[in-house]
Amino acid sequence: MGTTKPVAIKILPRPEPQVSMRAAEIHPLARPFFSRDPRRVARRLLGKILVRQTKDARLTARIVEVEAYLGAEDPAAHSASGRTARNAVLFGPPGYAYIYFIYGNHYCLNVSSEPDGEAGSVLFRALEPLSGIDQMAEARGLTLRGREDWPKLTSGPGRLCQAFGITRARDNGCDLTSPDSTLWIGDDGYRVRSIVVTPRIGITKAASQPLRYLIDGNPFVSRFVSRQMSPKQPLRIRRN
């Protein structure tokens, strides 16, 4: 497999949105990155960047919260009941987008993991916007007063899909390892120092499993960690 060339994009520097934009190189993630246990993929996706290329702009946001779904052994996973036309992406090659519609009002973005033929996925729960802020706000139908409103753009699986214009018709089966796709995932060298692990939220089956991963202290996570979320304290993992 050949080495994929990095793609230069512009990212709004942190912490001040008013500062002029800088160029940064984002290296698309190779397919082997996704060809492993969803728990490992989920942890390693934190800090990576989701990229949406449109005719007029390039939207980017850092991945700050995800959940792992473990395939046939996980009753909460869409693949638990076997392969169907609807969930076929989950059983195909790793690194592809699986999109589903939920509650009759929003989409959710997942990426397939595990080797080809084995089901597994990671759900994107929250992003930290980096560039294309105005376009995200327009897609969400929001007027932003300042940076304090940015979590309204991409904090939550439905919000981030709306901000990035993600739909099943447009993006299901999209190759997230290719910068030629209109939606892909890359690495700009950012490294996460501490990860919080909690039970997944918003589900009823296997809800106690610690398969939700988020960047410790990040203000863009969809729901902050509290003692009321679980009888056990959240697990924090430090990275060197």
**pLDDT on residue 235:** 66
Closest CA to 16 of 148, 160, 186, 191: 148
User: Is the pLDDT assigned to residue 35 strictly greater than 50?
Assistant: yes
CB 193 within 8 A of CB 35: no
Residue extents of the structural domains in the chain = 7-238
What is the CATH number assigned to the segment(s) 7-238? 3.10.300.10
Over residues 151-168, the mean pLDDT reads 96
Where residue 77 falls among pLDDT bands split at 50, 70, 90? confident
For the segment 83-96, what is each residue's pLDDT rounded down to a tens digit? 888 899 999 899 99
Please state whether beta strands 121-131 and 58-69 pair in parallel, antiparallel, or not at all (unpaired).
antiparallel
Where residue 1 falls among pLDDT bands split at 50, 70, 90? very low
For the segment 215-225, what is each residue's pLDDT rounded down to a tens digit? 999 999 987 65
**pLDDT on residue 224:** 61
Kindly state the helix (H) or strand (E) to which residue 69 belongs, with its residue range: strand 58-69
CA 222/CA 220 separation, integer angstroms: 6
**pLDDT on residue 72:** 83
Residues in Cβ contact with 160 at an 8 Å cutoff, skipping those fewer than 6 apart: 50, 61, 109, 124, 126, 127, 153, 154, 166
